[in-house]
Amino acid sequence: MNITEAITRRHSTRAFLNKEISREQIKRILTTASRAPSGANSQPWQVAVISGGTKLKLQNEIQQTFLSGVTSIPDYQYYPTTWQPPYLTRRRECGLQLYKSLNIEKGDSHRRQSQWAANYRSFDAPVMLLFFMDKSLQTGSYLDFGLFLQSLMLSAMDEGLATCPQAALAEYPDIVRKTLDYPDDKLVVCGMALGYEDTNAAVNSYRTPRETLEHFCQFFD
C-alpha cells in the first residue's frame, strides 16, 4: 500500500472485531507516528494506551456520567458555538449517513443516545488511545498534534488495523485524569479507537464525501 492509497482508504471505523492487538504492534505504530513534524521539534504529544480492565473502568465511568445527564466540560472548545454554512451542511450530512447505516430514524432519540454513548467505549474496540499535552502549550501544538494523529492512523493501516479519531473522549477530562492518575496540568486533546475492523458491519460501509479541489484551492501565478 503506497501513501496515496493509504490516505484515500483511511476512514473512521465504528465496529471492531473481538481480536486482541499485540503491544509490539502498538509500539511500532506510535514509534512511526512520532516522526511527525512539530514546531521547534516540541513533540507535544503524550499518549495513554488503554485496554483490559482499565478500559472497562474508564469507559463505564464516562458512559454512566453521560447517561445520567451530566454536562460535559472539555478542556477546550472543539466545535464552533454557532454552526454556519457550509460546515453546518457537512455536519448534518455526516450525521445522516451514520444514522442511515444503522437504521436509526430521526425521531428515535433513545437509539441516537445509545449510539452516542458508544463513543465513550471507543465503539468496543480492544484499545482506546487517549492523547494529552501540557496546558502551557498554545495553538500551534494543536496543529502539531493533528500531524501526529494522521501519522498514527496511517501507520495503523500498515499494521492491518483500523481507527476512529474521537473528540468525544475528551468531553469529560476530569474523569480521564482521575481514573488514569494524570495531573491537572495535562490537557485531554482527544481519543482514538484502535482495532481490527469488522468489515461486515453496516456502520463501516459508508464514506463521507470530500469537496473537489476547485472548492478549496486557488492558484496564484
All structural domains of the chain, each given as residue ranges with its CATH number in brackets, are: 3-79+120-204 (3.40.109.10)
Instruction: Give tens-digit pLDDT for 29-80.
Output: 999 999 999 999 999 999 999 999 999 999 999 999 999 999 999 999 999 9
CA distance 79 to 118: 20
Which strands sit side by side in the sheet containing 46-50, from one edge to the other?
Answer: 46-50, 127-134, 186-195, 162-166
3-state SS assignment for residue 188: strand
| pTM for this prediction | 0.96
Angle (CA) 211-212-214 rounded to 5° is 120
Mean predicted confidence (pLDDT) in 24-30: 98
Mean predicted confidence (pLDDT) in 211-221: 97
Instruction: Give tens-digit pLDDT for 100-140.
Output: 999 999 889 999 999 999 999 999 999 999 999 999 999 99
Instruction: Give tens-digit pLDDT for 178-196.
Output: 999 999 999 999 999 999 9
- Contact at 8 Å (CB) between 12 and 119? no
Given this model, what pLDDT does residue 146 score? 98
User: What b/e sequence results for 185-215 when a residue is b if at least 16 CB atoms lie within 10 Å of its CB, and e otherwise?
Assistant: ebbbbbbbbbbbbbeebebbeeeeeeeeeee
Instruction: Give tens-digit pLDDT for 147-174.
Output: 999 999 999 999 999 999 999 999 999 9
DSSP H helices in 44-132: 52-67, 87-101, 109-117
